[in-house]
Structures are given as structure tokens and as C-alpha cells.
Structure 1
Amino acid sequence: MAAETSTIHRALPVLVGAALVLAFLYWAKVIVIPVALAILFTFLLTPPAHYLERRGVSRVVSSVLMTVLALALAIGAGVAVTRQIGSLLDAYPRYEPNVTAKIEQLRARGRTGLLDKLQVVTERISVQLDRRGPAPMTQAEREVARAQPVRIVQQEPVRLSQLWAIASPLLEPLAGLGLVLVLVIFMLIHREDLRDRVISLVGVDQLADTTRALEDAGQRVSRYLLMQLMVNSGYGVSVAIGLWAIGVPYALLWGFFAAVLRYIPYLGSWLAAFMPVALSLLITREWTTALLVVGLFGTLELITNMLVEPWVYGRGMGVSQAALLIAVAFWTWLWGPIGLVLASPLTVCLVVLGRYVPFLKFLDTLLGDTPPLAPAHRFYQRLLAQDETEAADLLDDYAALDGLDRAYDEIVVPTLAHAREDLRQRRLQTPDHGRVVDEIHALVDAHRRLIRPDDMVGGDRMRVLAIPLRDAVDDVAVAMLGKLVDMGRVDWVAASSAVLASDVVESIRSAQVDALVLVSVPPGGLAHVRYVIKRLGTELGNLPLVVVRPGLADDAQVRLRRELSELGVSRLATTLAGAASELRKIAALR
């Protein structure tokens, strides 16, 4: 109960802070939106403005020139789109007979369809309601109905408040646009000063992290906005050319909307396709044109998603696509259409903050595109969930990509160590621990031995006895090491963890081995290593001994090497791949 109360107390300030931030963003959006737009356009215009400055143009002139040019392009696009929409509305009566013909075709094909049946039922209900009719009116009600209301309006001069009520809806967007333009110009001119002020606000002691965060955010946002503008513009031009070739009117208008709506992930392109498809149904009585338009959008979307975007974006902007879609919905709900435009760069900035600010790490986890779980954790989680098939696929995929030795050292060994620690801390029950270990052992047994090009086939083979020092976890480690040793050099003899330390000497004698391997997976087990080595004593003689402690932490390696050196042991391997390498060295010296 105390733990739950402590969790609530820790989460409450975060929730209250998030609610206050959301309330401020909504309440102060008249100021916040222009500032956010100004920052967005500053990121977008900084590269071309910097290019002009390198060519000798002064900073003030380049900043003003790029801002005016961007405004002129926006106004020109708006005027062209407005004219196209007006022309389309004027042309609708020409296409109305085609609409009527298509409706008649649909009716002729489906007289007994669900919609027709529903229409018949609706009409019959309407007829029944009309038959009942309203109740007859009394004489007094008829006189009241015939009476005409009279209102006396006094002629007054137009007041200033009335003028403001009419003009304010027009002046507010103009004032916001003016604020954006002024802020963009000043941010472009004084961008280094603004950067220094942010660094000073965060604190000079965080200078390195703040610098990396600003550089990362600036590069990601600027590059992403430019690349997205280029991709979407190319997409819009391709749509316009394709629609013109098919014969759909106002192709430039639909290309413009395709470029703009494609800022909405996944859904934008198909929203842009709706109007051209609808228009193609208007201009002709056949269905071929509409099908060609759908095919055009599908082909362009496939090419853009599969070929163009991976090549242009490269490593991308570091945001999960699912998170970006949710962010688009959230910012659109909060700020309307402006939020739709700002969703991508704002999400990038949040991911960068989560990457460099410790207490905002959850933002990087929720919104970033880096895998939330390491492969070893995913493997362990799948085993705990009793999903052995996915665990096996994950291990096999990792082994196919990076090699079986790395798959064992980077996935299986950490999983065994994690399971052992969970058992020690009582986070995992003994039956569950045994099931996880047994399943890993079965997966390892299913693998083939690792064959290297330099394996020696034939000749003298070195007989190696591998002894797991404690339990089934060490048995699995021995089995994995047996898959990595050279088949042509080594005769591998694997003992069982059930062998007592007092029986190790007899095992060495009876097996007539050439080398001995002691395997113990951390955590724990160091006492067993020391005990077995001391118990062997002089029986080892010149017999090579390799102590294998896979996954041992770096700080513990120096201490263990010193202790082993005092016991007369010089070979320590902290990975299974390192242990296989040590055995190859021993075989080469024979």
C-alpha cells in the first residue's frame, strides 16, 4: 500500500504539470501559434538564407529576402487555388447530366438492394405520418397565426464597437501573419543570439548536452522540413501530370492539394485522391477514368513510400510513424489546421528533449523510433510469455545477421543472467525459472555447430572437458560453447552440473583430456570457481585451464584476473566467443 501511495505521489506532479501545459497551449494559442510558426519557418529558411550569406549577401538582406519570397509564394499559391475552386464551381452544371446518368445506372443494377429497400420503408413511414396530419387549430390559434409581429427599430449611427465586431475576425489573422513575418525576420537575423540565450537559460554547466540537443534538433527539423517539402512537391507535380494525362480537369489544383494533404501521414494521400476521383465520376458516364485515378494515386504512393522516402530521408527524423500519426491527431485537435502543419517538427523537438533531458526520457521512449527493448530483453520477455516461437525467430534472425557467437553472447547470456537474478530476488518462481532455462537449452540444441573456414579436419584433435560449475544455467552455457568450438580441432566432452567438485579430478583422469574449461554464468558463482580450482590443486599439472565467466562486468574482470593469477590460472574468458578463441590458441600450441 505504501508503494502504491508513493507511486501516486510521484505521478501526481507530472500529471498536474502536463495539464497546466496543455491548458496554457490552448488558452494562449493566439500568441503561441505565431511563435511556433515563426520558429518553424526559421528552421525552413535558415539553410537558403545561410547560402546567400556565404555568397556575400548581408544577413539583414538575406533574411528579409527569404521571408518576402516565402510570403509571395504562399500568396501566389492561395490566389491560384482560389481561382481554380471558383472555376470548378462554375463548371458544375455542365457535368450534372453525367451524375444523373450514374445514379440511374446504380438504380438499374440494384433495385432489390439494401438501400432501395430502406428507401421504400422510409417512404411508407413518411406516407403514414402524413395521413395522420396535425390536429385542427382553434379559432384563437388561427388568429394568432395570422397576426404579424411589429418591431420598432430606431435609426442610430454605427458605433465603433459594431465596426470592431465586423473587422476583428479579419484583423486577427492579419495580425498573426504580421507577427509571424516580423518574428521570422528577427529570428533569422539574431539566430546565434537566441541560441546563446537558450544555453544561458538552461545553464552553463549543461553546456555540452544543450549544444548537442540544439544541434540535433536544428539539423533534424531543418533537414526533415526541406526533404518533406521536396518529396511532397514532387508528389504533387506527379499527381498533376498524371491527372492531366488521364484527362481530369483542374489537374494543378488537385496536385496542390495532394502536396499539402500528404503532410498527414498515411491518410493524407487518399484524402487528396477523393476529389479527383469524384470529379472523374462527373466528367464522364463511364467508370474507367475513376479507376485510372485510383491506380495513379496507388502507384505514386507505393513508389514514394518504398523508394523515394527511404532514399531521401536516410536515417529519418527519429520519430515512430505510429507516434507521428497520433501527434498529428493531437496537435490538430489542439490548434486546428495550424497544428496539422506543426505536428511533425514539434514531435521531433519533443523526441530530442527526451533524448537529452533525463526526466523527459519517457518522451524518447514513447515517440522515438529506436527499439524500446534491447534484443536480450525482448527474448527474455517472449520466454516469460511462453511465446517460444517468436523467441526462436528473434534468436535465429540475430544469429543470421550478426553470427551465432554474438547471438549467444549478446542475447542468450544476458537472458540467463537476468533469469538467475530474478530467481535470487524472488521476482521469478523456481518452476518458471526452470521452464525458461529448459526452453533456452532446447533452442541451443537445435542450432548447428559454428563452422569456420580455418577449421582443421583430421590430424590430432584436442580433447576438451567442459564442466558447468553450478546448475542448469551453466549447462546451457556449456552447450552454447560447444556449438562455437572448432569441429576439426576439438573433441568436445560436456559434463553435467550434477558432477561434484570431488569427482572433477576423476573425470579428468577417465576422460584423458588435453584441456579443461570451467564455466560459470554471473551473477554469483565466484566461490565455486575458487573452490574447484583449489580442489584440483596439483592434479592440473600442465593441463591448460580456461575459466569462462560470460557476461562478467568490466569492473569485476580486473579483480577476478588478479585472484585467478594468485591461483595459478592465466586464462579468463568473459564471452563465449572469447572462450572459443582461447581454445583455438591452445590447439595451435600443441
Structure 2
Amino acid sequence: MVPPKSSQSGGDVQGSPLTEVIFGFVIIACLYIGREVLVPIALAVLMSFVLAPPVRLLQGWRVPRSLAVVFVAVFAFSAIFSLGGLMVVEVNKLASDLPRYQSTLREKIQSLRGATAVTGTLERASEILQELNRELNSPKRGAPASAALTPPGGASTESIQVEIAKPTSSALQTVGAVITALVSPLATGGIVVIFVILILAQRQDLRSRLVRLAGSRDIQRTTAAFDDAAQRLSRLFLTQVALNAGFGLVVGAGLWIIGVPSAPLWGMLAMIFRFVPYIGPLISAIFPLILAAAAATGWAMVLWTAVLFLIVETIAGQIIEPLAYGHSSGLSPIAVVTSATFWTWLWGPIGLILATPLTICLVVLGRHVERLAFLTVMLGDQPALMPAELLYQRMLARDPVEASEQARMFLKERSLLAYYEEVLLEGLKLAAADAERGLLDPDRTLLIRDAVAEIVDDLSDHKGDPEPAHEAAIEARESARADKAEEAARELAQRGRTGRLALCIPGLGLIDEALALIVTQLLERSGVGARAEEFGVLSKSRVSSLDTTDVGLICLCYIETPTPAQIHYAVRRLRRRAPAAIVLIALLGRTTAIDDDEVMHALVKLDLVKASLRATVERILEIAPSFSKHED
């Protein structure tokens, strides 16, 4: 018997996440097993992002692409290999001077025996220097050793010197040992050089192939995505390399001025370690501080070294970097730490240095590839929820305090009306959509109404409505209507709010009651006397008790979607209670299903607003002088 189709589809849906998890583990295993090949390729790809702008610059000067690629690659790798040679020279020089630094550090330890904490720190520093000395001089460990042998029986007291000598290595064996030690770094460097040149030379062909793989049906969108990603990454990596190189140059020059031994070596290491987020500068400062303590008899060199790293890192991290490429690299702090841990576990120390650039590549890729969008959500620094979604989630979680704090942060740059329009009203629309789908029970709906009431009450004492430049531009385009509304508001304010009231009545439910509270507060802040009623006031049992004394305008507030029949029913009941009042219907939810002609048919003295909360308030302010003057 063939099982139902629904069961089959359900099994497929349940199996797909498991398949994706298995596929993810397979990718991680391949990255780990193939790290000897993938690490050079990753280095080459990142270097190609850095070198692509200089190649394009030379092409703009009419230099052929092949010649531009060769020139840029030769210049870049010559600089890299020169720095590597300088590091080797400095390491050899440091190895020859380490015994002298150890003796200086021992003298400091002896002079500070009374200070336990300082002595312990210096002893650990001395141990580090001894270990470093052993590592740097490890090729000399094959020196001849001697031992004293005593004949059996112990009769003789004379010791016999026995020399244990290693067999002399032939020239061929020596050359083989040297080649074996150099083959791995040379192979890695060669792979990087070849791939960088190929990627730069075949950039357009590689892009075309990637476009074909990503989807040739929408070439325009795919090409735009690749160009955007390439430009973002090139600009980011080139800026980061320039800043880190400048950081290393300043640190190296500063250490040289202070007198710290092997200053060029520590400057280059500072540049490299600064690619490691958060702890990179701290790691790069450890050895210079130890050598400063070992090289000088006093403590001034140590203090100046610490001050140098502190000042340079503060200026670079807090001033220069935000000006160069913003306050963030595009990664959340937890993503930076997680990526550093993951790539270090996967590829070792080189993975720690490449962690941030590789993760940035994944985040940019997730912005343009739909199936990888989860990478941007998990690792990016953009909020996971939009402000309206976050507000709705906080209201459902019974946390109006955080919602109020969110409003306070928003109001530092925007107006209260903008917050109600763009955040609170949009959050209520999400609630209304869930309610219409039957996903919001009455208790949660009441919870949302209460949360909105608390937020509105908390913002009642808000002073001032700052308008940034872009919002001011919007206001300028609507200057005619805005000026008219402001004149009406000033007129009512001069009257001391003695005009007749505006009554805000919810249309269908508690969510509409929340909207009525918002409109009421905005009208009161504009100088119009207003009052909000509770949901259910238009019911047969309660409409007779509705107080319409001194009411000149009634605003029916809808976020939930009413039918024309429901609107007609509410308007007829209001006409019987307040026949002289102007009725304004504010449809601020999903209004596409409402036919204006059908709503307005056979209804007099009726206004219909479907645009926005701002338009609703402005329309009431325009009408307000008419019913205020009617009283006079």
C-alpha cells in the first residue's frame, strides 16, 4: 500500500535538516583533512582581495592587465620576503644576545627577593627567556658530551673520560636535511604565489564561472552581488592591512627609540598579531615587555614600552579604525571570538590570524546567497530582529521595561511621532496579523494592550521631537500640509484647549484600543483635547452609556481589518449618540481589502484616512479648528 503523500512530504521535510547537518560536518572534515592545501589557497584568495585594487588602478593608467598583475605580485611578494628575511636576521641576533639578557634578569630577581609578586613575575619571565634560548639554539644540541665511567667492582678511583661523538654527516646528508626543513614553507609560499597570480590574471573568467554556478537565469542580480561582495572585501582587507602595517611601523619605531632589543622583529609581530581580534595586541606586547625588563637595569624601559602599546592601540582602535571603516568589521563580538576558536582548532595558529577575514567572507556571502543567509544572521553585527519585531517580541515576553528603553534610545535621534509610526504601529500590525491567523489568544492580546498603555504612559513626559536631516527632507516635501496643521495646533493652544473634544474609539478589538491610546496622546501633545475609550464601548449593552458631551470629532481607530459592514454599523451607532460630530475613520492596518467607495457610500460628515498615523493626526489637526469655532 502506498503511504499518503502528506506523510512522504513530512518525512522529506524532517530529513532535510539532518542532511544539512551531515553535509556541514563533511565540509568541516574536509577543511581539517585538506588544511595543508586549503590554507595556502585561503591565503591566496585573501591576498588577491588586497591586491585587486592596485591592479585595477594600474589598468586605469592603461597598463595591460597581465603586466599589472606581474608588477603588483612581484612588488607585494618582494616586500613580504624582505620582511621575512629581516625577521630571520633579528631572530638570530636575539638568539646570540639572550644569555646576556638572562643574567640581567637574574640580577633583578636577586635584588627584588623581598617583593614576592614581582619576583614571581620576573622568574616566569626568566623561564620564558631560557626556553626561548633553548629553542633558538636547538641545532647546537648535538655538541659532544662526556661521561665518567668506573670499572666494575669500584677498585679504581680514577675516572675515565669517554667522549660520545656523532658520526660525521656527509655534505649530501647536510644538504638533504636543509632541503627537508625548507620544503614545507617553500611549497606553501609557492602555492600562494601561483594562486595569487592566477586569481588576479583570471579574475573575470573566475567571476563568470561563479555566476554560472550561482545562477545564470538572473545574471544581473548575481553579477551585482559578486561585484558588491568583491568591492566590500577588497576595501575592508586593504584598509585593514594598511592600518595594521602602520600599527607595526609605529610600534617598531617606538621600541627602537625606547631601546628595546630587536625592535623591527616586534614591530612586524605586532602587525601580524593585530589581525587577531581583541587579544592580538596584548600577545604582541608580551615579549617586548619581557625583553625591556631583561635588557635594562632599571624599570623605565618597561614602563615606556607599556605606555607605547597602550597609546598606539587606543588611537588605532578607537579613533583611526572607526574613521577608516566604521565602528565594526561587520561581525558581532561573539562571532569574532567563536570564529577565532573554530579556525584555530581547525588550522592552528595560521587559522587564528585568518579567522576574522574568513568569517567576514562568509558573512558577505550570506548577504547575497539565500541558502547561506543564516551565516549573516548568526555571525553578522546587524540586529537579528527589526525594531518593530523586537518590540512585539518584548511585549509577548511580558517585558515592557525593555520596550520602553528601546523607545528612549530611538527618541534620542528621532521624533515621538516617528517612533509611534515606524516601531510601535508596525509592532501592532504584526500582532494584528497573528490575531487574524488565530495565533494570538485573548490573554496575550490583553497583554499587548497593557504593554502599549504602559509605553504610552512612560513616554507622556517626553520633551522635544528631534528631527534628523533625512526626516527634515521628508517634512519639506509635505510642507504645505504640515504648515496648515501647525497653524491649527497653535490656534488651539492659544485657546487654552477650551475647544470641543476629540474622542478616539477602538474599532474591533484590544489592538485597536492600543492605537486609540497612541492617537489620543499625540493629539493632546498638539493641543487638542482628546479622550480614548475602551474596546467594546460600541456594543449594544454599553453604547447607551457612551459620554459624548462636548465631543466634536470621533476617530474610529482600526489596525485589525474590518469589513465595510462593520464600519457602517459602528458609524450608525455613533451617529445616534453624537449626530453633530465629525467622524474620521483611521484604517492603519492592511487597507488593501477596503473599498473606499463602499465605505463612504450613504455616509455624511465622514472622513477616511488610510495613509499613516502621521496623516491621521494631521487631518484631525486640520479639522479641529472647525469644531472648535462651532462652539464659539
| Kept after mapping to 2: 8 A contact 1:441/1:476 | yes
For the pair 1:438 / 2:438, whether they are aligned, the reply is no
Determine which of 28, 31, 35 is the counterpart of 2:37: 31
For the pair 1:331 / 2:337, whether they are aligned, the reply is no
Change (3 A) 1:440 1:494: closer
Deviations 1:66-97, CA, capped at 9 Å, x for gaps: 11111111111011111112112211232233
Q: Residue in 1 aligned with 2:598? A: 563
Determine which of 608, 613, 616 is the counterpart of 1:579: 616
Q: What is the SS of the residue equivalent to 1:297?
A: helix
Question: What is the letter of the counterpart of residue 517 of structure 2?
Answer: A
Determine which of 344, 363, 382 is the counterpart of 2:394: 382
Change (3 A) 1:344 1:52: same
| Kept after mapping to 2: 8 A contact 1:263/1:341 | yes
Deviations 1:212-254, CA, capped at 9 Å, x for gaps: 2211221111101110011111111221233233332222221
Q: Residue in 1 aligned with 2:16? A: 10
Q: Residue in 1 aligned with 2:4? A: none
Q: Residue in 2 aligned with 1:416? A: 428
Distance in 2, matches of 1:114 and 1:287, equals: 16
Determine which of 394, 403, 407 is the counterpart of 1:391: 403
Change (3 A) 1:513 1:253: same
| Kept after mapping to 2: 8 A contact 1:421/1:523 | no
Distance in 2, matches of 1:159 and 1:8, equals: 63
Q: What is the SS of the residue equivalent to 1:203?
A: helix
Distance in 1, matches of 2:582 and 2:542, equals: 15
| Kept after mapping to 2: 8 A contact 1:447/1:483 | no
For the pair 1:19 / 2:25, whether they are aligned, the reply is yes
Distance in 2, matches of 1:158 and 1:76, equals: 29
Q: What is the SS of the residue equivalent to 2:364?
A: helix
Question: What is the letter of the counterpart of residue 580 of structure 1?
Answer: V
Change (3 A) 1:253 1:214: same
Deviates more, 1:214-223 or 1:285-294: 285-294
Question: What is the letter of the counterpart of residue 434 of structure 1?
Answer: L
Q: What is the SS of the residue equivalent to 2:551?
A: coil
Deviations 1:5-45, CA, capped at 9 Å, x for gaps: 77752321111111111122222333333332222222111
Distance in 2, matches of 1:191 and 1:63, equals: 11
Structure 1 residue 175 displacement after superposition? 3.0
Change (3 A) 1:171 1:488: closer
| Kept after mapping to 1: 8 A contact 2:344/2:352 | yes
For the pair 1:61 / 2:61, whether they are aligned, the reply is no
Q: What is the SS of the residue equivalent to 2:585?
A: strand
Question: What is the letter of the counterpart of residue 204 of structure 1?
Answer: S
Q: Residue in 2 aligned with 1:355? A: 367
Q: What is the SS of the residue equivalent to 2:114?
A: helix
Q: TM-score, normalised by structure 2?
A: 0.77
Q: Residue in 2 aligned with 1:129? A: none
Q: Residue in 1 aligned with 2:58? A: 52
Distance in 2, matches of 1:7 and 1:66, equals: 50
For the pair 1:499 / 2:537, whether they are aligned, the reply is yes
| Kept after mapping to 2: 8 A contact 1:351/1:368 | yes
Aligned residue-pair number: 548
Distance in 2, matches of 1:538 and 1:200, equals: 69
Distance in 2, matches of 1:214 and 1:317, equals: 19
| Kept after mapping to 1: 8 A contact 2:49/2:238 | no
Q: Residue in 2 aligned with 1:463? A: 501
Distance in 1, matches of 2:62 and 2:429, equals: 62
Deviates more, 1:6-15 or 1:349-358: 6-15
| Kept after mapping to 1: 8 A contact 2:538/2:573 | no
Change (3 A) 1:421 1:203: closer
Determine which of 315, 331, 343 is the counterpart of 1:303: 315
Distance in 1, matches of 2:250 and 2:564, equals: 68
Question: What is the letter of the counterpart of residue 92 of structure 1?
Answer: L
Distance in 1, matches of 2:573 and 2:248, equals: 78
Q: How does 1:162-561 map to 2 (within 5 A)?
A: 167=179, 170-314=182-326, 317-419=329-431, 430-448=442-460, 455-456=489-490, 457-459=493-495, 461-485=499-523, 487=525, 489-502=527-540, 510-522=548-560, 528-536=566-574, 543-550=581-588, 552-553=589-590, 556-557=591-592, 559-561=594-596
Distance in 1, matches of 2:188 and 2:260, equals: 37
| Kept after mapping to 2: 8 A contact 1:465/1:494 | yes
Distance in 2, matches of 1:337 and 1:582, equals: 65
| Kept after mapping to 2: 8 A contact 1:444/1:479 | yes
Deviations 1:336-379, CA, capped at 9 Å, x for gaps: 34333433332222112211222221111011121111112222
Question: What is the letter of the counterpart of residue 458 of structure 1?
Answer: Q
Distance in 2, matches of 1:9 and 1:207, equals: 32
Distance in 2, matches of 1:421 and 1:488, equals: 30
Percent of residue pairs bearing the same amino acid type = 30
Change (3 A) 1:567 1:173: farther
Change (3 A) 1:281 1:472: same
Structure 1 residue 545 displacement after superposition? 2.0
Distance in 2, matches of 1:572 and 1:208, equals: 40
Change (3 A) 1:295 1:383: farther
Change (3 A) 1:540 1:212: farther
Q: What is the SS of the residue equivalent to 1:401?
A: coil
| Kept after mapping to 1: 8 A contact 2:511/2:560 | no
Q: What is the SS of the residue equivalent to 1:548?
A: strand
Q: What is the SS of the residue equivalent to 1:266?
A: coil
Question: What is the letter of the counterpart of residue 238 of structure 2?
Answer: L
Structure 1 residue 502 displacement after superposition? 4.8
Task: Structure 1 unaligned segments of length 5 or more: list them.
Answer: 116-138, 140-156
